[in-house]
Amino acid sequence: MWKQLLAGIQIGNHQSIARAISLVENEVEGYDHFLQSLPIGKTPITGITGPPGAGKSTLTDALIGHWTAQGKKVAILCIDPSSPFNMGALLGDRIRMSDWYNHPGVYIRSLATRGSLGGLHPYIIEITAILQTAGFDEIIVETVGVGQSEIEIAGLADTTVVVVVPEAGDEVQTMKAGLMEIADVFVVNKSDRPDADSFVKNLRLMLAPAFNSDKKIEVIKTVASQKEGIGELANAITEHQQHISINNRKIWLLTERVYQLIARNRMKPYDKKAIYQALQAKASKEQFNLFTFVNEYANTGNA
């Protein structure tokens, strides 16, 4: 089964790709050996993140149009927030991208975060590896843009695009250094709005002294709904990806991926449903102590 799937993936068969992703998500027997057998893929990964309402999906849609017009094959992973009760995606497939679902050169998959504290899908590393094997020219990962996902995307993407809008002035001023640091390209979307030029100028001033001279961060103005600035953004992404090397930052990003994979493997013995059942019997008691429960459960498998 796995050999047939790999053969289908390598020729870009969308059904094989979808099947493999589902089997890996569900940890079907043999999935780990399948992952180890994947050829090394070199397709660059572009992460698109930013606050809700910044227009990330519209921007992604415009990038798909730009790249497919150049004859490129594009894969998109949309990370949706998920219900903490059933772990399903709340947003489902993005309506804005509906034009591309039947396009032979485009593969789109919505993934629920499934309660992942980092904000990305728990199998995002494996899924992107599958897509890299499938011969796509571009891979986009669009995050929910809340919580820690902005930081986590930097551990996955070769190029991280942070999308903001002109009204986000106060928000940008209070951005953590970590968020500013992960950006390889800043996009000021909806830049036809008032004060956009002033916002872009201030953003460039903020970025100038913050980093070493060896990292230039582009600031691109776009109006994604009108497809304005998309070519310039695509060029900035390509330019950045042409200069990716195995430097200290890349090693740290790979270190983060290895750490996440090891941590998840160590967590395999712990089933959320079993924890839920154990909590049902304990949480309502007056003497319930969360930390005692965790210690006992981790050491004995029950509490």
Question: Per-residue pLDDT tens for 189-217?
Answer: 999 988 889 888 888 887 775 555 566 78
In the chain, list all ranges with CATH 3.40.50.300: 40-263
The contacts of residue 94 (CB under 8 Å, 6+ apart) are: 57, 61, 78, 108, 110
- Res. 226 pLDDT band, cuts 50 70 90: very high
Digit-coded pLDDT (tens) for 151-169: 677 778 889 999 988 876 6
DSSP per position, the chain: -HHHHHHHHHTT-HHHHHHHHHHHHTT-TTHHHHHHTPPPP---EEEEE-STTS-HHHHHHHHHHHHHHTT--EEEEEEE-B-TTT--BSS-S-GGGGGGTT-TTEEEEEEE-TT-TTSS-TTHHHHHHHHHHTT-SEEEEE---STTHHHHHHTT-SEEEEEE-GGGHHHHHT--HHHHHH-SEEEE-STTSTTHHHHHHHHHHHHTTTS-TT---EEEE-BGGGTBTHHHHHHHHHHHHTT--S-HHHHHHHHHHHHHHHHHHHHTT--HHHHHHHHHHHTTSTT--HHHHHHHHHHHS--
Model pTM score: 0.81
Q: What are the distances in angstroms from CA 124 to CA 129, 191, 194, 238, 260?
A: 9, 31, 38, 22, 11
- Res. 87 pLDDT band, cuts 50 70 90: very low
- Res. 285 pLDDT band, cuts 50 70 90: confident
Digit-coded pLDDT (tens) for 287-300: 888 888 888 888 87
- Tell me the CATH class for 40-263: alpha beta
pLDDT given at position 245: 63
